[in-house]
Amino acid sequence: MTTRVRFAPSPTGLFHVGSARSALFNWLFARQQDGVFLLRIEDTDADRNREEWVDVIINSMAWLGLDVDEGPFRQSANAVQHKAAVESLYEAGVLYACGCTGDDVQARKGENKTPGYDGHCRDLNVPRSATTALRFKVPEGMTVVDDVIRGRIEFQNAVIDDFVVAKSSGAVLYNMANVVDDRVDRITHVIRGEDHISNTPKQQLIWAALSRVVGPDLPLPIYAHLPLLVDASRKKLSKRKDPVAVEFFRDQGFLPDAFVNFLSLLGWSPKGEEKVTREELISQFTLGEVNQSPAFFDVVKLTNLNGAYVRELSVEEFIAATLPWVDPSTALWSPADFQPLWPAERFDPGRYRAIAPVVQERVALLSEVPAMIDFLFLENPPIDAAAWTKAVTGDRDAIAILDAAIAAYKETEFDAQVLHEVTLAFTEQLGMKLRKVQAPIRVALTGKSVGPPLFESLVVVGRDEVLRRLSAAREVAGTTAT
């Protein structure tokens, strides 16, 4: 039998990393089993769903490279089948009408909160009306969930209340709609978050009832409940409190492959190195090996992994990937809230191409690139006060160094290797160390104390501009020197 799995998010907010992880594990399993990965948008709650969130889900999955074999389907499009299933179950006596309001239930329960609903209308034969909901008549006995990840979980049916399956408005609720769809879609494995464990016995009960009274008699899907992703306070990742939208990570300059690799490490681990390709992920992934304890989403580790992926890119790939940050006018998309550091017309692809290889080795996030190379595209890069103070004002040799540099760079060939040697030569004449000498030159050139290697930077900026900046700095240093 073909493995068929589904990812079934509800479009009620940003697509967050917990959802992404569920989607990924489903996708990995499908790919590995040579099965079918299906996307179903669970949009039955009209009050909370928004169309724009559907787009976010689809875009985020595309970014992650989780290609869908079937769908995206809309759960709402199956409303007719949901209602038909409900009617059949009602006629078979599996469901009953209940006119209790939430307040009624609360009032009767008082301090005793177990179970949620007390079964008040269960045997009252309440006639159906516009104010009655339909509840599932939970049978006696025990329901066993066989979870691939957690083993056998037993639920006494007595603690499962007669849950509502269809609202008084007629709208069919999650547990019912979800099961009907899983049956229609012939889902074989349900892989989802741990927060659904308590829904599972209810869904198994519905499934069994449907198999019995409506047919066909389908085997229960195999369940696998993934450990939750938690925040620093060990609580379930929240869309409201935590910066967890997948789009946010894309906008920070994370690479999808790195992101996917990192996600795969949360609750699971490959045999050897943690850094693994998608292909290895697919072949190595084993659902039963997923562990059971919640995992904290550590952005620092993600960042480190991302750096490794960035460094592995070819220069061409790196340039293409950074276009949204360096040359927004030619990029296919733009990060949210992105503020360009230089006017678009001053960007020079040739210069960027020349500096890219040494920049690539120095960033962990693509968004770090602009600040590292702004001196190439700004006429007068801003001078960092602290850097100036330390390297120029605070160094009484700075003027001599700048003078020597200007004199040397006037004559020499502008080649990184040659500049290195020339600089080394006057450094020795001065009786200094290169480490010391590069500082004022760097600040004069870039305005910063850190950045790409100096000699490569000099070459890209070019002799005339280098001399102009060095002279300007020399002049300011001379007038402010004490």
Residues of this chain, 323-362, that bind RNA according to CB under 7 A: 361-362
With CB under 7 A as the contact rule, which of the stretches 61-69, 216-224, 232-240, 249-257 interacts with RNA? 232-240
Q: What part of residues 93-112 is at the interface with RNA (CB under 7 A)?
A: 98-102, 105
- What's the min distance (Å) between Cβ of 480 and RNA? 22
Among 198, 380, 389, 429, binds RNA (CB under 7 A): 198
Q: What part of residues 254-293 is at the interface with RNA (CB under 7 A)?
A: 265-269, 274, 289, 291-293
- By CB under 7 A, tell whether 75 contacts RNA: yes
Q: Which residues contact 175 (CB under 8 A, 6 or more apart)?
A: 163, 165, 199, 202, 203, 206
Question: Considering CB under 7 A, how many residues would be counted as binding RNA?
Answer: 94
Nearer to RNA, 210 or 358 (CB): 358
Asked if the peptide bond before residue 72 counts as cis, ω within 30 degrees of 0, the response is: yes
Q: What part of residues 146-165 is at the interface with RNA (CB under 7 A)?
A: 150-151, 153-156, 159, 161, 163-164
Q: Are 172 and 162 in contact (CB under 8 A)?
A: no
Task: Return d(Cα 405, Cα 414) in angstroms, integer.
Answer: 13
With CB under 7 A as the contact rule, which of the stretches 52-60, 251-259, 454-462, 473-481 interacts with RNA? 454-462
Task: Return d(Cα 154, Cα 142) in angstroms, integer.
Answer: 7
Nearer to RNA, 122 or 331 (CB): 122
- By CB under 7 A, tell whether 253 contacts RNA: no
- By CB under 7 A, tell whether 473 contacts RNA: no
Task: Return d(Cα 445, Cα 467) in angstroms, integer.
Answer: 9
Q: Residue 162's closest CA among 180, 144, 139, 178?
A: 139
Task: Return d(Cα 476, Cα 260) in angstroms, integer.
Answer: 50
Asked if the peptide bond before residue 270 counts as cis, ω within 30 degrees of 0, the response is: no
- By CB under 7 A, tell whether 242 contacts RNA: no
- What's the min distance (Å) between Cβ of 163 and RNA? 7
With CB under 7 A as the contact rule, which of the stretches 56-64, 247-255, 378-386, 430-438 interacts with RNA? 430-438
Nearer to RNA, 212 or 235 (CB): 235
- What's the min distance (Å) between Cβ of 336 and RNA? 25
Task: Return d(Cα 48, Cα 221) in angstroms, integer.
Answer: 28
Q: Residue 175's closest CA among 149, 201, 194?
A: 201
- By CB under 7 A, tell whether 378 contacts RNA: no
Position 290: which residue type? V
- What's the min distance (Å) between Cβ of 445 and RNA? 11
Task: Return d(Cα 121, Cα 115) in angstroms, integer.
Answer: 14
Among 92, 108, 141, 304, binds RNA (CB under 7 A): 304
- By CB under 7 A, tell whether 394 contacts RNA: no
The two three-digit tokens of residue 196, written as one number: 């659904």
Nearer to RNA, 234 or 337 (CB): 234
- By CB under 7 A, tell whether 196 contacts RNA: yes
Nearer to RNA, 137 or 362 (CB): 362
Cα(first)–Cα(last) distance of the chain, in Å?
A: 85
Nearer to RNA, 61 or 330 (CB): 61
- By CB under 7 A, tell whether 168 contacts RNA: yes
- By CB under 7 A, tell whether 301 contacts RNA: yes
Q: Which residues contact 472 (CB under 8 A, 6 or more apart)?
A: 444
- By CB under 7 A, tell whether 318 contacts RNA: no
- By CB under 7 A, tell whether 414 contacts RNA: no
Classify 405 as helix, strand or coil: helix
Name the strand (E) or helix (H) holding 479: helix 463-480
- By CB under 7 A, tell whether 451 contacts RNA: yes
Q: Are 5 and 46 in contact (CB under 8 A)?
A: no
The two three-digit tokens of residue 393, written as one number: 């004002």
Which ranges of 331-380 would DSSP assign to H, the alpha helix? 349-360, 369-377
- By CB under 7 A, tell whether 450 contacts RNA: yes
